[in-house]
Amino acid sequence: MAADDLYRRTPPCTQLSFLTNKLSSESAVRQISILVHGWGCQATHFIPLIASLSANGENAEHGFLYLAVDLAGHGESPTSILPGPEKGGTAELIVSLFYEVLYQQKCYYGINSTEAQKLSPIILHGHSMGTLTTLELLTAFEDRSPVRVSHLILLDGSWTGGLTAESLNSGDL
């Protein structure tokens, strides 16, 4: 997979720009991965990872959908869309993007709301300072049904306070 195989979308409600692989109309979505970059980075930094996963069979043809997000003020997402902490901050914006992609922008992927409820649990990837946002996302998704998180992948993470590998593995957050 090359950068040409990824498409940039900017849904109207959240205005968060993201890169995604295009699914053919024949492909059902089996797995969604949300990729969150670190400070000073952008969605394009995930192209090599998405290319590697796709080369190993986790590609659009087999129902794997990637959403590599440009956080507010990074890449092609404007700074002005960042909600304050009292409105959920960045994590809430990404959760809203997820639902916007599934429900309001279903024409991109051919997913209807019934199919969305049958999706496999999502995978969250966080890089560097994005690991903190990813941990917030984990909590935000746990509070919402029917979305479940199956894997949390933290790459070169920043300090997480008292969080330990044991607490993450046990699901004790």
Q: What digits encode the pLDDT tens for the residues 45-77?
A: 999 999 999 999 998 888 888 999 998 888 888
Distance CA(77)–CA(151), nearest Å, equals 26
pTM of the entire structure? 0.79
Instruction: CATH number for 3-170: choose from 1.10.10.10, 3.40.50.1820, 3.30.160.70, 3.40.50.460.
Output: 3.40.50.1820
144 vs 148: which has the higher pLDDT: 148
103: pLDDT confidence band, cut at 50, 70 and 90? low
Compute the average pLDDT of residues 113-138: 79
pLDDT at 79 over 70: yes
Percent of the chain topping pLDDT 70? 69
Give domain limits for the chain: 3-170
pLDDT reported for residue 108: 44
Other residues' Cβ atoms within 10 Å of the Cβ of residue 4: 6
